[in-house]
A and B are shown apart, each in its own frame.
Chain A
Amino acid sequence: MEWRTFPRGVTASPPLCSMPVLDPAGFFARRSCAHRRCLTVFVAMANRPPDPLYTCPSQFTEHFSQFFYPSQCYSLASRFGRETKKPMVMIELTINKHKHKLTVDPRTTLLDLLREEIELTGTKKGCDHGQCGACTVLIDGKRMNSCLQLAVSKDGSDITTIEGLAEGERLHALQVAFLRHDAFQCGYCTPGQICSALGMIQEKQANTREEVRELMSGNLCRCSASPNIIDAIMDVLTQDEQ
């Protein structure tokens, strides 16, 4: 048994699908979390025979697509012997200077691709709606919310994630500054903060502390580390100027 938490993609209505949410075999159960932002999905995946409830492959895929990333959905479907039509698209991405040829479901966001396919889990999923900035990466040098970018539409792009900043053991100046200024507590927003700060410095629009505060407003820190985060960024910004 394993559990995973997914951001809420589907609300109470329309019903998740026409099939029962809790199947009699106990194969699949769903429970909403208290704040309605996510569905906590309990899945028992191992060694279950295909359930007679899921007879139609398309329904099977549709059903699971509400809870899983497409790739997981297909692997689940194939695991239980349901061949499904895969509307896959070939793309090529350069991620942290490495070229990747990938076949993706068009629904896959860049964030899910990075975390689930490339297994670069440094980029974090916070709200999954472009509001918190935890998923910020650099796409062709520009900072963007990777949760709102479909991977297919970024074909040919050059992506830099938090994993791509250090050179071997040598940390990026921003990473050093974040350590020196204790610019985090839980650390969940940190990769997004650092990528965003790097993008901001390259944009060359922020010079004063006030401007940095405004231009970092797309990254939320719920541990109240923001003053230290701004200190760390100002440190690097003034170093750059010297």
Chain B
Amino acid sequence: MRSFDYFRANSIAEAVREASTEGTSYLAGGTNLVDLMKEDVERPSKIVDLNRLPLKKVERLQDGRLMIGALVTNADTAYHPEVTKHYPILASAILAGASPQLRNAATNGGNLNQRTRCYYFYDTATSCNKRQPGSGCGAIGGVNRHHAILGASEQCIATHPSDMCVALAVLDAQIHLSGPKNDRVVAIGDYHRLPGDEAWRDTVLESGELITAIELPAETFADHYTYLKLRDRLSYAFALVSVAVVMRMNSGGIEEARVALGGVAHKPWRKPESEVLLQGQPSERKFAEFADAILTGATGQGENNFKIPLARRAIVRACHQAASATPQSQNDKRIA
């Protein structure tokens, strides 16, 4: 690991001020950053430690919104009574990811900002536009079983590895940021970027900006939801394809449905304009129609071609699970 200057911040203002130096990284749980520093992928010249900042609270506001601090750990979020009761899809998605030890250390802010697990991004002996802009993309035409089928560019076909963010996408979460110029709020759908010509930029976060909280709207979707994650191992593996579904149902069937996909693109993939296709009485045909709509334009890279039919079937199955209120268990991995 390369040497760096270390600064422990005691307030948000102090952290943001200290981060104005070029080459500074924020450190929270460390589960991704420290690993990438060992791999020599991240080479910060300075680290601002956020662990003393007062961002560790989960708070329900008067109007029903839930504010989750950026430094609350993934485990504390998943097991928090407000989350398990009102936003079970978020708990389910978090518990589908990583290992218990990692979830105990990893924070929500860090989860949003985690980097891709693309092999080429990790291996400094290969080319990667995300790691070294302009060097090319080794994954295109290379080993790309895990890579994107949607929204990829000729510069980068990496996927976003988070499970939590897929649930946040269907919950319409808002990300609260503090920065050197001002504070702002960004919708989860706008927070992560597609690679385009700037593969090295994962998010819209500006230099020195800091996530302070994740805001969940008052609307809860506690009854009809599922997080279905398909992967090479049953536990402790990144998604090949994952599907988050929430539904609001009434006597006429599905009143509103939201679906997001993980493991298939540079960001959690949603197509809100197609979600109207799911309204009405639930049926296999309707789910399949929607799956075709959200997968419009899906392109395989060779080794990951299987993801397209897999995603289609996973969407149909997940919609069934949500509509019939039988969410996927993250302990019993049999798919109902």
A128 within 8 A of B: yes
A196–B101 touching, CB < 8 Å: yes
B59 within 8 A of A: no
Question: Size range of the interface on A?
Answer: 35 or more
Chain A: interface secondary structure? mixed
A204 to B: closest C-beta gap in Å? 9
| Interface flags, B102-140, vs A, CB<8A=1, else 0 | 101100000000000000000111000000000000000
Instruction: Please report the C-alpha to C-alpha distance between residue A213 and residue B235 in the assembled complex, in whole angstroms.
Output: 9
* Residue from B3, B47, B99, B125 within 8 A of A133 (CB atoms): B99
B39–A9 touching, CB < 8 Å: yes
Q: Which residue of B lies closest to A192 (CB)?
A: B101
Count of A-B contacts judged by CB separation below 8 Å? 118
B101–A218 touching, CB < 8 Å: yes
* Residue from A133, A205, A208 within 8 A of B101 (CB atoms): A133
B333 to A: closest C-beta gap in Å? 8
B203 within 8 A of A: no
A107 within 8 A of B: yes
B1–A107 touching, CB < 8 Å: yes
| Interface flags, B43-65, vs A, CB<8A=1, else 0 | 00001010100000000000000
B234 to A: closest C-beta gap in Å? 8
A130 within 8 A of B: yes
Q: Which residue of A lies closest to B79 (CB)?
A: A205
Instruction: Please report the C-alpha to C-alpha distance between residue A180 and residue B34 in the assembled complex, in whole angstroms.
Output: 37
* Residues of chain B contacted by A130 (CB below 8 angstroms): 31, 35, 101-102
A65 within 8 A of B: yes
* Residues of chain A contacted by B306 (CB below 8 angstroms): none
B6–A87 touching, CB < 8 Å: yes
B27 within 8 A of A: yes
A145 within 8 A of B: yes
With A149-B105, A217-B236 already in contact, the answer to whether A11 and B125 are too (CB < 8 A) is yes
Instruction: Please report the C-alpha to C-alpha distance between residue A219 and residue B99 in the assembled complex, in whole angstroms.
Output: 8
A199 within 8 A of B: yes
With A65-B3, A199-B104, A214-B331 already in contact, the answer to whether A150 and B34 are too (CB < 8 A) is yes
Instruction: Please report the C-alpha to C-alpha distance between residue A89 and residue B7 in the assembled complex, in whole angstroms.
Output: 10
A13–B104 touching, CB < 8 Å: no
With A12-B125, A153-B27 already in contact, the answer to whether A109 and B34 are too (CB < 8 A) is yes
B34–A218 touching, CB < 8 Å: no
User: Which positions 1-54 of chain B face chain A at CB distance < 8 Å?
Assistant: 1-6, 8, 27, 30-31, 34-35, 38-40, 47, 49, 51
* Residues of chain B contacted by A218 (CB below 8 angstroms): 98-102, 236
B330 within 8 A of A: yes
Query: What are 9 residue pairs bridging A and B, where the CB atoms are less than 8 Å apart in the complex?
Result: A9-B1, A11-B124, A13-B125, A65-B3, A89-B6, A106-B6, A148-B35, A214-B330, A217-B100
Residues of chain B touching chain A, judged by Cβ–Cβ distance below 8 Å, are: 1-6, 8, 27, 30-31, 34-35, 38-40, 47, 49, 51, 75, 79, 98-102, 104-105, 123-125, 235-236, 330-332
Q: A61-B3, A87-B3, A148-B31 are in contact. List 20 more A-B contacts (CB 8 A).
A: A11-B123, A12-B125, A13-B125, A70-B3, A107-B1, A107-B3, A129-B39, A130-B102, A142-B75, A145-B101, A148-B105, A149-B105, A150-B30, A152-B49, A210-B332, A213-B235, A214-B331, A217-B236, A218-B102, A219-B99
